[in-house]
Amino acid sequence: MEFPQLEYLRRRRCDSAVNTEQKKLTQTPLLKIWVPWMGCSLNRRRGSSVPQFCNSPTMIVMVGLPARGKTYISKKLTRYLNWIGVPTKMFNVGQYRREAVKIYKNFEFFKPDNEEAMKIRKACATAALKDVAAYFSKEQGQVAVFDATNTTRERRAIILSYAKERGYKVFFVESICDDPEIIAENIKQVKFGSPDYVDRDIDEALEDFSRRIECYRASYMPMDDEEDRKLSYIKIFDVGSRYLVNRVQDHIQSRIVYYLMNIHVTPRSIYLSRHGESELNLLGRIGGDSGLSPRGQKYANALATFIRGQNIRELKVWTSHMKRTIQTAEALGVQYEQWKALNEIDAGVCEELTYEEIQENFPEEFALRDQDKYRYRYPKGESYEDLVHRLEPVIMELERQENVLVVCHQAIFRCLLAYFLDKPADELPYLRCPLHTVLKLTPVAYGCKVESFFLNIEAVNTHRERPVNVDINRNPEEALLTVPEHV
Amino acid sequence: MRGCSSRAKLAHGRDTAVCMTNCPTLIVTVGLPARGKTYISKKLTRYLNWIGVPTREFNVGQYRRECVKIYKSFEFFRPDNEEGLKIRRQCASAALNDVRQYLTEDGGQVAVFDATNTTRERRDTIIQFAEQNGFKVFFVESVCEDPDVIQENIVQVKLGSPDYTNCNTEEAAEDFMKRIKCYENSYEPLDEVLDRDLSFIKIMDVGQRYLVNRVLDHIQSRIVYYLMNIHITPRSIYLCRHGESELNVNGRIGGDSGLTPRGKEFGKKLSQFLQTQGISDLKVWTSQMKRTIQTAESLSVPYEQWKVLNEIDAGVCEEMMYEEIQDHFPLEFALRDQDKYRYRYPKGESYEDLVQRLEPVIMELERQENVLVICHQAVMRCLLAYFLDKTAEELPYLKCPLHTVLKLTPVAYGCKVESISLNVDAVNTHRERPEVGISLEAHRRAHTHPQEDGSVWPDMAFSPRAFSSTGCTVQASAFLLTHGVNLTPNPQHSKHPTRK
């Protein structure tokens, strides 16, 4: 049962006490959201591009023996939720432990009869929980991912009661895996590089870590179908071969389950590229649906050569519905899929204008965009925030797929890149995505390796830095300071 | 994913159909009688068709009813009834044959094989059949032991079944319970260990718990997501358009205008209406366009704005009257009437695009309980088509008049619809499907324009000669227009009346 937006209700009650007749609507200048005019309370009104689905804060609690992918899942989930606009933070209890016990000696710390260590570990969990509470109450967080083994029913009960007292929802994510190969691979990928093992050689580290796992195994109580039937959780078996899902309470939990069921760990690479240089690019005009310039066509051919040279297994190629990406893909000579969701950001009334023309005709809009480029929506157009919303199915499908080449556009590229490289909203619209450059992203350990390939074909620069003066009353020279050169 | 399945139309017209599924998929339901298998089958079929995946369900019980004209009693289903078993096996085979036909010859992508399939033996037969034909198999098992839920199922859908037309309620219920018993002894549920190589979802206790095994591809992942979001808690969905807008009254499409006085009156009446309905915990959703928000403001309750509920983007035709579109873009206007569902306005959208962007709304509507959606004509048509299982051909012509609320209440296998006009006058914005000539020569077509009094006035004849001879696709039309293809309308056109 979801509760109504309490904050919203409170405001409404105040408003109706003050003014009972129907209020005029005005459109907020930045987001282009229609809101009732409420004088000075206008800017406090929550109006956003996407519906808000979180009411009570949610704690996602990881469960599982060491080396079962809990931190991998925590980081990935946190990255995904933040990208779709749900403020999320991860709390790794191991980190707290490393801060409390500066130097890690060996697995003996984790022995169940080590009272001293037990005390420290419990204190660390408590400290992490306190930080979770602070994140929710003081930092407007909506989801906290509590990353620890949480292998005993007792520990989970403590978390549940802590959450219940404060009105947080709890969703458990348990990872169960007994495949020795997978566990060995995990250990290799992320444990050897851990601060705990910085001074050990590989065999020592492996031996110690295996004994660490054994310390937990004896007291491990997995989530139980019967005993835990009232709890909300997902159990992931064997890296996604099987899932057990119990009592999904709300929208965000449903999205989390969907996401977790679509990710995989099979090695693969994602290639991101913009279309080749277009006619409108040359003229310094934004948007539109023009074809490739001669240099752009050259790039398409170079891209084909590059891709062939990469010897990629079963590559899928995706484009938008716009001529320039399709022309680029055509040069590859392979099948490709068109996604309307990959179309460039709609600049509305500014479509096909140069920045100079935008400054001349819509100076206020131009300034607003520089003030908050992520949330700014073009009149009759879109914002980066809108883009992220429409790209979510693309990201979901990218997670499902293996080797993919995405031929897209500047703003789209920035949004996708921000997802893979965990860039926040204020950096996203300024990520550098030059023409004629392919980015190869390869998931590794907890993140993504990035390789950049410039295919040696000149192109105009379309990147506009944020100017220093973003005030509505700035003069045109200041506004146009960072506009890249064009014909 | 809609984007994946759209046809890759290239500039020179080569048509490469790209499927999101590589081979067709056979969804096989599993479960004792009265566990919601047919409910799930029908709902899933409806959803998949709506998002553009050609799907059909094959209910073996139907085949049995055609074979054995008159149902006598549960004895037919007794495990020792050899005659009965023979017939039932034949029916399953006949159904599978039709599945093969649908998936290999009739362009189907998903077939839902709705039967109890409670024995491993039967399921093995199906798996073999699928392997021989290159179909992927995905099992959907419904397990439920809650007697209240089973009782409710029986009341809602079994008592009205053709099998029980001549029985009274008690007789029917008793017979049906005995029927269930016939299956219970031989029921072998899908097993985590024995069936670990199969792809399946086990739904337990109407969605409290799910076991999902080996999801193989995109479509199976979407099916799982959908099944995990639906529920059977009674509730109603209210759909309505914004109140009459300024642009409506001027006969213009699109735009972002405010309400007329009559439109505001509708807002007030809507608020009163909702109060009489006494709905618990109603969620209100609007688009991000002024007219829906103004309408919601009259309700004095919190509401959520969804950008994806915005009206269809008419691109270059935004804020034009149909007459102006005809004057400036006669080719486009004709193409739209040829295939209103797939036609995309230049720099705008199609109904097909709308369905894709509305999918998250549908998913959330499935999750929610009582919801009022204040939206727009094209959007409302898409949502309505989902709930009432209308085809792509019918969708763009569904009637969604202003100042009328549709109350949809899920019941049995479908949706009860109540249409409530709130008695506030408004212009009619519905344009009927014009008659489309099929000759390659110049053909006349009657344009129909809606009138204020609700009547429909056929007035203009139109001959799109140039369009018919090129045989171009709708996507290519934008290129035609920008390359200077000019069409002169037939001089026989009579002047159409202007509307206020």
Active-site residues of B, by number, are: 242, 311
Which pairing describes strands A447-454 and B371-375: parallel, antiparallel, or unpaired?
unpaired
Confidence tier at B158 by pLDDT (50, 70, 90)? confident
Alpha-carbon distance of A254 to A54, in angstroms, equals 12
Single out the catalytic residue among A108, A251, A275, A486: A275
Residues A106, A109, A112: CA angle, nearest 5 degrees: 135
Q: Does residue B406 carry a pLDDT above 90?
A: yes
Residues B70/B74/B75/B78 CA torsion (nearest 10 deg): 130
Alpha-carbon distance of A276 to A299, in angstroms, equals 6
pLDDT for the residue numbered B10: 31
Q: In what order do the strands lie in the sheet with A270-274?
A: A337-338, A316-319, A404-408, A270-274, A437-444, A447-454
Alpha-carbon distance of B423 to A318, in angstroms, equals 50
B241 marked among binding-site residues: yes
Q: How far is A166 from chain B (nearest CA, A)?
A: 23
Q: How far is A223 from chain B (nearest CA, A)?
A: 13
Alpha-carbon distance of A152 to A63, in angstroms, equals 9
Interchain CB contact of A6 with B (< 8 Å): no
B10 contacts in chain A (CB < 8 Å)? 326, 330
pTM of the model: 0.87
C-alpha count within 13 angstroms, C-beta hemisphere, residue B374: 32
Alpha-carbon distance of B95 to B115, in angstroms, equals 10
Interchain CB contact of A333 with B (< 8 Å): no
B258 contacts in chain A (CB < 8 Å)? 25
Q: Does residue B260 carry a pLDDT above 70?
A: yes
B301 contacts in chain A (CB < 8 Å)? 12
- Counting Cβ atoms within 10 Å, is residue B377 exposed (0-12), middle (13-18) or buried (19+)? buried
Which candidate from B6, B192, B281 shows the least CB-CB separation from A338? B6
pLDDT for the residue numbered B500: 31
pLDDT for the residue numbered B160: 83
3-state DSSP assignment of residue A431: coil
Q: Do the beta carbons of residue A234 and residue A245 sit within 8 Å?
A: yes
Q: Do the beta carbons of residue B3 and residue A393 sit within 8 Å?
A: yes
A274 marked among binding-site residues: yes
Mean pLDDT of B220-239: 96
pLDDT for the residue numbered B450: 57
B192 contacts in chain A (CB < 8 Å)? 242
Neighbour-count burial for B324-361, b at 16+ CB within 10 Å, e otherwise: ebbeebbbbbbbbbbbbbbbbbbbbbbbbbbbbbbbbb
Q: pLDDT tens for residues B10-39?
A: 333 333 233 344 699 999 999 999 999 999
Q: pLDDT tens for residues B325-356?
A: 999 999 999 999 999 999 999 999 999 999 99
Tokens of B116: 């109890």
Q: pLDDT tens for residues B447-499?
A: 444 544 444 433 333 322 222 223 333 333 333 333 333 333 333 333 333 33
B229 contacts in chain A (CB < 8 Å)? 254
Q: Does residue B280 carry a pLDDT above 70?
A: yes
Contact B288 A33 (CB under 8 A): yes
pLDDT for the residue numbered A14: 38
Q: Residues for chain A: how many in total? A: 487
pLDDT for the residue numbered B69: 85
B121 marked among binding-site residues: no
Counting other chains too, the contacts that A41-46 makes at CB distance below 8 Å and 24 or more residues apart are A41/A11, A41/A15, A44/A11, A45/A11, A46/A7, A46/A8
- DSSP-derived secondary structure letter, B21: S
Q: What does the longest C-alpha to C-alpha distance in chain B come to?
A: 78
Tokens of A170: 């709890």
Alpha-carbon distance of A403 to A270, in angstroms, equals 6
Alpha-carbon distance of B217 to A380, in angstroms, equals 37
pLDDT for the residue numbered B296: 97
Q: What percent of chain B has pLDDT over 70?
A: 83
Tokens of A331: 């040069």
ipTM of the complex in this document: 0.90
pLDDT for the residue numbered A260: 98
Contact B367 A8 (CB under 8 A): no
pLDDT for the residue numbered B12: 33
Confidence tier at B444 by pLDDT (50, 70, 90)? very low
Q: How far is CA A238 from CA A175, A178, B15, B158, B246, in A?
A: 8, 7, 41, 41, 59
pLDDT for the residue numbered A199: 83
B57 marked among binding-site residues: no
Alpha-carbon distance of A137 to A131, in angstroms, equals 10
pLDDT for the residue numbered A22: 52
Among A299, A390, A380, A277, smallest CA distance to A342 is for A390
Which candidate from B210, B218, B288 shows the least CB-CB separation from A34? B288
Q: Do the beta carbons of residue A476 and residue A316 sit within 8 Å?
A: no
Ramachandran quadrant class, A422 (left: phi over 0; alpha: psi -120 to 50; beta: rest): left
pLDDT for the residue numbered B115: 97
pLDDT for the residue numbered A59: 98
- Strand ranges (DSSP E) for A24-83? 25-27, 34-36, 58-63
Alpha-carbon distance of B38 to B158, in angstroms, equals 11
- Strand ranges (DSSP E) for A150-290? 169-176, 233-237, 242-246, 270-274
Which of B307, B311, B365 is the best substitution to test chain A (most A C-beta atoms within 10 A)? B307
Residues B60, B62, B68: CA angle, nearest 5 degrees: 100
Q: Does residue B9 carry a pLDDT above 90?
A: no
Tokens of A456: 């040696």
Q: Hey, what amino acid is at A454?
A: F
Mean pLDDT score of chain B, rounded to an integer? 85
Mean pLDDT of B415-420: 96
A365 marked among binding-site residues: no
Mean pLDDT of B359-365: 97
Q: Does residue B437 carry a pLDDT above 60?
A: no
Interchain CB contact of A335 with B (< 8 Å): yes
Q: Do the beta carbons of residue A142 and residue A86 sit within 8 Å?
A: yes
Single out the catalytic residue among A174, A344, A365, A392: A344
Which candidate from A51, A262, A341 shows the least CB-CB separation from B3? A341
Which pairing describes strands B304-305 and B55-59: parallel, antiparallel, or unpaired?
unpaired
Alpha-carbon distance of A60 to A173, in angstroms, equals 7
Q: What does the longest C-alpha to C-alpha distance in chain A come to?
A: 76
Which pairing describes strands A169-176 and A58-63: parallel, antiparallel, or unpaired?
parallel
pLDDT for the residue numbered B473: 33
Q: Hey, what amino acid is at B203?
A: I
Task: For chain A, list residues with pLDDT below 50.
Answer: 1-21, 40-49
Residue B59 has a CB neighbour count (10 Å cut-off) of 18
Q: Do the beta carbons of residue A127 and residue A99 sit within 8 Å?
A: no
A251 contacts in chain B (CB < 8 Å)? 364, 367
Q: Does residue B298 carry a pLDDT above 70?
A: yes
Give B 353-382 residues with CB within 8 A of chain A.
Answer: 353, 356-357, 364, 367
pLDDT for the residue numbered B434: 86
**Torsion sign over Cα A111, A117, A122, A124:** negative
Q: Do the beta carbons of residue B242 and residue B424 sit within 8 Å?
A: no
Active-site residue, A344 included: yes
pLDDT for the residue numbered A198: 85
